[in-house]
Structure 1
Amino acid sequence: MASFPDDILTEIFLRLSIRASGRSRCVCKSWKSFLTKPPFIKVYLERSIKLHKFDLFKYDLDNFSIVHICYSHENQLLDLNISFIEDDEKFKLVGSHNGIVCLSTFDCKNPHRSKIFLWNPSTSENIALPQPIFHVSNLVGFGFNPISGHLDDFIVVNLNIYFEQRPNYTSLVDMYSFRRNCWKQLGNIFPPSLIQHSGNQVIFKNFICWCSCFHLDHGTVTSLILFDVVNDVFREIALLDMMPLEEKHISSLDGWLSLITHNSSTRQCEVWIMKEFGARESWTKLYSFELFTGSIVRYWPVGFVYYREVFFVKSTQVRSLFESPNYLVLYSLQNDKFEALEVEVDSYCITRLVTCVESLISPSSTISVER
């Protein structure tokens, strides 16, 4: 096969699974060289984005953090090995891009024990990032620079907040570049609205996106918070007044930045998309559906999977609080029905879902792939 043209070898190796590709590197030096070259890594990633997407579902149960992998066409949750994180460490699933996943641990009693990991679940490779200038915080963002020309130009933002006397605070923000393998201090640039509630994040273009929700005397205020990983600045965009006031879940749907929210006045779930990224007035309600069927039951959105199916955490209200047990359910917009997955979770607040792809990008070394 060493005499085959590169385009023929590419077509052959593209048809291998990620595990078979890894084993093939051990056959001979020429295969290893070909399979680790940037052009093949790029082509493999492009194919995976079209054909080999999957979802990672993270939740806590009995105070232990667990990650499952979900192939959407099967609707089954399979365990993943995360032995690189100590058994007693709880962690957050921060985000994913180009097959690389960011995880963070946080020890409130000893913050300097906290760590940030980059992990390729397809190849099982992982690394712990060097400690930031300040200790790892409870709020970490994961992004990607799409204009640099490199498929592994990953960015991690570490956000430490120190309250002097509420509402006064000081923020210490530092940013890690995977390609430079170093942290850079950005200073006190943190928007105060993000302190109240950040929830999950979405990577969209060169922005890390959160939907912040906070409560003032005159009512609930929500806004979109964006961190530009190219220019190292935060940006805040107010949401439309016509949107429901309840807390919103930020996600991605069919290439659009989207929000899932509960409208208590109509007892419906609404899905909104931002048709022109960054333009407040471009928010459009895509559809709504009745979901909250009882006064003691609440469905909390976790995110979209496959073709407009939504993971929810189902909670039951006891007295005035929503308490355990909480269960994961899958709602099909097409069939207007629930599928119970018999997965119990501690809380919807720390339940996360991210979409990932099979990738040969290594978290242990940088590559130089031009787009």
Structure 2
Amino acid sequence: MATFLDDILREIFFRLSIRPLGRFRCIRKSWKSLLTKPPLIKAYIERSIKLDKFDLLKYDLDNFSRVRICYSPENQLSDLDISFIEDGEKFKLIDSYNGIVCLSTLDCKNPHHSKIFLWNPSTSENIALSQPSFHVFNFVGFGFDATSGHPDDFKVVNVNLYFEQCQNYTSLVDVYSFRRNCWKQLGNIFPPSLTQRIGNQVIFENFICWCSYFRRNHGTVTSLILFDVVNDVFREIALPDMMPPEEKHIGLLDGCLSLTTHNSLTRQCEVWILKEFSIRESWTKLYSFGLFTRSIGRYWPVGFADSGRVFFVKSTHVGSLLESSKYLVLYSLQHEKFEAFEVKVDSYRSTRLVTCVESLISLSSAIGVEH
């Protein structure tokens, strides 16, 4: 009889939104037990991926960081409570997986005060991670071990780069396991190439993926940098020569790694996807569109709202040195025009768009528990 009632409760819980489920945890111990079991958590995440995905938009304005929910297709923005971050403190939105978001702050005056947070926007629950072996730098990665079978097997990698000479650096890397609630030092394992700029990241399978961009011997070099969260190693993968050399924005599109870039020769925006992971020759140009042909401005890709709409930061040049205010804009590939969406931002480098889902994962109850 109890099993039959539990099955009915699971079906009811499965169809409710996060907020009432959070209250139900406090009513009965048996209900809390059901709501914290991995099978229901996994099933709820799978449901949310199909029905309740939403975009988190992080940007800086007037030197102040903020993050908001962007609902499609209405393009409405709603504020979120991020009071756990100190007033006026700037932060980076690293990424999101299974409804959990990773944020990091950087205190340039006192790096040891910098912090890394995990946050569930659906429940407003958040935790600050313990301090790593080395202070939190501006290069933090967030990943997930899909091989473990646990929906909360998150990993955070903290990379410190110490430049000794113009062409040499030493790296100090440590990785955090959410399930073990501890940091592990990995040492000087970052790929031995001078990386001047690393953009946003994406999580693909067991890898944290970045697209690096740097200049070498009067040319521009771009490559993929991957961190394997299972084996705790970095890999560097060169991109095909047929790709434009300009800086690229990495993302996920239709389940594949994607790169969006401006081609300065054709003055078009190109979207490439990697059809077979780790096979360099499988990079394919999905499409290109002439966004830049009739504008004196520059558009920097930020991410896909969905498969048919792309966010850009628009920067209009005035003269040769000055720029006007920058705006986040939304471009429809189907209609080949901009939609009614304009948000003022400080810079495209501080602007981040990630997709999130509603999640039952509890940060406070799961941390440090091998279950």
TM-score norm. by structure 2 comes to 0.95
Which residue identity is paired with 2:278?
G
**RMSD of aligned alpha carbons:** 1.8
Q: Is residue 177 of structure 1 aligned with residue 154 of structure 2?
A: no
1:213 match: 213
Asked if structure 2 preserves the Cα contact closer than 8 Å seen for 1:315 and 1:322, the reply is no
Larger displacement relative to structure 2 (203-212 or 36-45): 36-45
CA contact (8 A) 1:324 1:346 kept: no
Cα 1:330–1:168, aligned 2, differ >3 Å: closer, same or farther? Answer: same
1:153 offset after TM fit, Å? 0.7
- Distance in 2 (alpha carbons) for counterparts of 1:222 and 1:323: 26
Amino acid at match of 1:307: S
Name 1:248's counterpart in structure 2: 248
Gapped runs of 5+ residues in structure 2? none
- Per the alignment, residue 89 of structure 2 pairs with 89
Structure 1 residues 1-371: aligned runs within 5 Å: 4-193=4-193, 195-294=195-294, 296-321=296-321, 323-366=323-366
Determine if contact 2:65/2:90 at 8 Å carries over to the other structure.
Answer: yes
Secondary structure of the 1:365 match is helix
Alpha-carbon distance between aligned partners in 1 of 2:79 and 2:362, rounded to the nearest angstrom: 22
In the TM superposition, residue 45 of structure 1 has moved relative to its aligned partner by 1.1
Letter in 2 for 1:31: W
Partner Cα separation in structure 2 for residue 203 and residue 98 of structure 1? 11
**CA-to-aligned-CA distance 1:290-323 (integer Å, 9 cap, x gap):** 1013452111110011232111111111233463
Displacement of 1:105 after TM fit?
Answer: 0.3
Percent identity of equivalent pairs: 78
Distance in 2 separating the partners of 1:324 and 1:180: 48
SS of aligned partner of 2:227: strand
In the superposition, relative to structure 1, how do residues 369 and 176 fare at CA in structure 2: closer, same or farther (>3 Å)? closer
Q: 2: distance between equivalents of 1:70 and 1:295?
A: 27
Deviation at 1:150, TM superposition (A): 1.0
| Paired residue secondary structure (1:245) | coil
Q: CA deviation at 1:43?
A: 1.3
1:19-74 alpha-carbon deviations (Å, 9 max, x no partner): 12112223333322222222221211111111111111100000100101112232
CA offset digits 1:252-300 (Å, max 9, x no partner): 0010000001111111111000000111111001111110134521111
Number of aligned positions between the proteins = 370
Task: Say if 1:193 and 1:213, in contact at 8 Å, map to a contact too.
Answer: no
Deviation, 1:160, is 0.4
Change in 2 beyond 3 A, CA 1:344/1:194: farther
Instruction: Give distance in 2, aligned partners of 1:369 and 1:323.
Output: 52
Q: Conserved in 1, the CA contact under 8 Å of 2:168 and 2:194?
A: no
* Shift in Å, 1:217: 2.4
Counterpart CA distance in 1 for 2:310 and 2:342 is 16
Contact 1:328 1:342 in 2 (8 A): yes
TM-score normalized with structure 1 length = 0.95
User: Once the 2 structures are TM-superposed, how far is the Cα of residue 337 of structure 1 from its aligned partner?
Assistant: 1.3
Deviates more, 1:105-114 or 1:300-309: 300-309
Give, in whole Å, the separation in 1 of the partners of 2:353 and 2:58: 6
Higher mean displacement: 134-143 or 216-225:
216-225
Partner Cα distance (1:137, 1:114) in 2: 8
